[in-house]
Amino acid sequence: MEIVMSILAGTLFAAGVYLLLQKQLLKIVLGTALLSHGAHLFILTMGKLNRGAPPILEKGITEYTDPLPQALILTSIVISFGVTSFLLVLAYRTYQSNKTDMMDQLRGTDDE
């Protein structure tokens, strides 16, 4: 199962990177969302899958799934939400101000 999930995480990552390399801002935002999904799955796979009960203490149970990756992912989900929404609004404002959302036309100064 871990191998299947590793491949899935890789696939999500590859799709995310491909979108990141596009010219349109909206695609880049979508790419970052895919990247964070891939990363979360990656971290979860690190802690081994399907071992023991959910990490909520109960009498009589001694085997629990690894809680640490879950805690890390929880933090990460919230942060990636913050990043995605920030980027989305940034893309919106960029378009409003510059009338374009193509990265090529958003190159800074001319002193190159």
Partner 1 sequence: MLHYYILLPFLAALLIGLSAKKVNRIHTGWLVLPVPVVLFIIFCSKLPVLAKGKIVQSTADWIPSLDIQLSFYLDGLSMLFSLLITGIGSLVVLYSIFYLSRKEQLVHFYVYLLLFMGSMLGVVLSDNVFVLYTFWEFTSISSFLLIGFWFYRERSTYGALKSMLVTVFGGLSMLGALILLSITAETNSIRMMIANRSDILESDLFIPILILLLLGAFTKSAQFPFHSWLPDAMEAPTPVSAYLHSATMVKAGLYLVARFSLIFSGTDEFFIIVSGIGLITLCLGSFLASRQTDLKGILAYSTISQLGMIMAMLGFGTGVAILAAIFHIFNHATFKGSLFMIAGIVDHETGTRDIRRLGGLYTFMPISATLAFIGAFSMAGVPLPIFNGFLSKEMFFDSSLKLEQSAGLAGTFAEWIPIFAVLGSIFTFVYSMYLVFGTFLGKQKIDQLEKKPHEAPIGMLLSPIILIIFVIAVGLLPNLINEPLLAPAVAAVTGDLPHTHLAFWHGLNTPFYMSLIVIGVGALLAYTLKRWQPVYNKIPGKFSSDHWYQTMVNGLLRTSKSITGFYMTGSLRLYLSIILVFLVVSTSIFMYFTDGFTISFDDLAPVTWPEVLVGFVMAAAAIATIWMNQRIAAIIVIGVVGYGLSLLFVFFRAPDLALTQLIVETITVALFLLCFAHLPKLKKSDKSKSEKLIDLMIAVSTGALLTIVAIASHSSKSFDSIAKYFVDNSYKLGGGDNIVNVILVDFRGLDTLFEIAVLGLAALGIFAMIKYRDKGDMNQ
Q: Which of residues 39-58 bind partner 1 (CB under 8 A)?
A: 40-42, 44-58
Q: How far is the CB of 68 from partner 1 (least distance, A)?
A: 5
State yes or no: residue 107 binds partner 1 (CB under 8 A).
yes
State yes or no: residue 32 binds partner 1 (CB under 8 A).
no
State yes or no: residue 86 binds partner 1 (CB under 8 A).
yes
The residues near 27 (Cβ < 8 Å, ≥ 6 apart) are: 19
57-63 contact pairs (CB < 8 A, 24+): none
Residue 21 vs 60, nearer CB to partner 1 = 21
State yes or no: residue 8 binds partner 1 (CB under 8 A).
yes
State yes or no: residue 82 binds partner 1 (CB under 8 A).
yes
Per-residue contact string for residues 55-74; x = within reach of partner 1 by CB under 8 A:
xxxx-----xxxxx-xx-xx
* Residue owning tokens 């995605």: 84
* Side chain identity, residue 51: R
The residues near 30 (Cβ < 8 Å, ≥ 6 apart) are: 19
Q: How far is the CB of 61 from partner 1 (least distance, A)?
A: 10
Two tokens, residue 31: 């790419």
Size of the site for partner 1 (CB under 8 A): 85
